[in-house]
A = this chain, B = another copy of it.
Amino acid sequence: MWNHPSEAGSRALDLSTAVLDRQLEQIADQLATRFTGVFSPATVRRYVGESFDMLASRSRVRRFLPSLTASFATERLTALAKAEGRTHGTVSEVLFVCVRNAGRSQIAAGFLSQLAGDRVLVRSAGSLPVALVDPNVVAAMDEVGVFLGAAYPKPLTDEIVRAADVVVTMGCGDACPVYAGKRYLDWPIEDPEGKSLMEVRRIRDQIQRQVQDLVAELFVKL
């Protein structure tokens, strides 16, 4: 039924392949309903399978892999629909990219969501995503009212880049494909990986100032 190129994924989950197949099947069915008239069930199914493989290959143990697969597939299909002009969405999309999607890009995405609300669609990704968001990053963001407890690192995929109006990179070099018609920004921000909570707070505040400047630019009046 489903390809499992990353056998590590299902082994790590301690789930039989049959149970996992049934879960992915049900997720694909539900998303096919949601995207009726936008994508065929076959396309939805392919994105669910690919999204699972991408997330499963990152980590040996991961809680919530089925539901994170559904979230990631939903995000990718929504971005694809926008990139291909299949939706009438008019809200700007901002994509933050760093290496691990565990620190800088999650911090920036959290601040922009907090400040801009539904006036902008915020996404983040990593060129080499790791398994979990840094605990110190989650703690430092909690202190300033941004909940990252549900955030998960995810790879940079083509449709997410294509759907973005603004792409902000932090330390990922030229891993991000460049498309015409977008605005690209590169922010020189240190990686919080392995840093103390005090140091992470400093990085957090630096990113917050950058996001505030971006918001002031994006919205004439806020």
Q: Contact between B23 and A69 (Cβ–Cβ < 8 Å)?
A: no
Measured CA separation A161–B52 after assembly (Å): 37
- Of A109-117, A122-130, A178-186, the stretch lying at the interface with chain B is A109-117
In the complex, the chain B residue whose C-beta lies closest to that of A114 is B30
Q: Cβ of A27: which chain B residues have Cβ within 8 Å of it?
A: 144-145
In the complex, the chain B residue whose C-beta lies closest to that of A110 is B67
Interface centre among A71, A145, A148, A149 (most CB of B within 10 A): A145
Measured CA separation A147–B62 after assembly (Å): 13
A71–chain B nearest beta-carbon distance, Å? 5
Q: Cβ of A144: which chain B residues have Cβ within 8 Å of it?
A: 23, 26-27, 30, 66-67
Q: Give A61-76 as 1s and 0s: 1 = Cβ < 8 Å from B's Cβ atoms.
A: 0011111111100100
Q: Give A23-65 as 1s and 0s: 1 = Cβ < 8 Å from B's Cβ atoms.
A: 1001100110110110000000000000000000000000111
Q: Cβ of A65: which chain B residues have Cβ within 8 Å of it?
A: 142
Measured CA separation A96–B146 after assembly (Å): 25
Decide yes or no whether A18 CB sits under 8 A from chain B: no
Oligomeric state, in number of copies?
2
Known A149-B150, A150-B149, A150-B150; judge A143-B66 contact (CB<8 A).
yes
A201–chain B nearest beta-carbon distance, Å? 12
Q: Is the contact region of chain A dominated by helix, strand, or loop, or is it mixed?
A: helix
Known A63-B149, A149-B63, A150-B150; judge A34-B117 contact (CB<8 A).
yes
Which residue from B70, B114, B148 sits with its C-beta under 8 Å from A147?
Answer: B70
Q: Contact between B150 and A66 (Cβ–Cβ < 8 Å)?
A: no
Q: Contact between A115 and B69 (Cβ–Cβ < 8 Å)?
A: no
Decide yes or no whether A137 CB sits under 8 A from chain B: no
Q: Cβ of A149: which chain B residues have Cβ within 8 Å of it?
A: 63-64, 67, 149-150
In the complex, the chain B residue whose C-beta lies closest to that of A142 is B67
The 10 closest A-B CB pairs, nearest first, are A150-B150, A70-B145, A67-B147, A27-B145, A67-B142, A64-B142, A67-B145, A66-B142, A64-B149, A71-B147
A→B interface (CB under 8 Å): 23, 26-27, 30-31, 33-34, 36-37, 63-71, 74, 78, 114-117, 141-150, 221-222
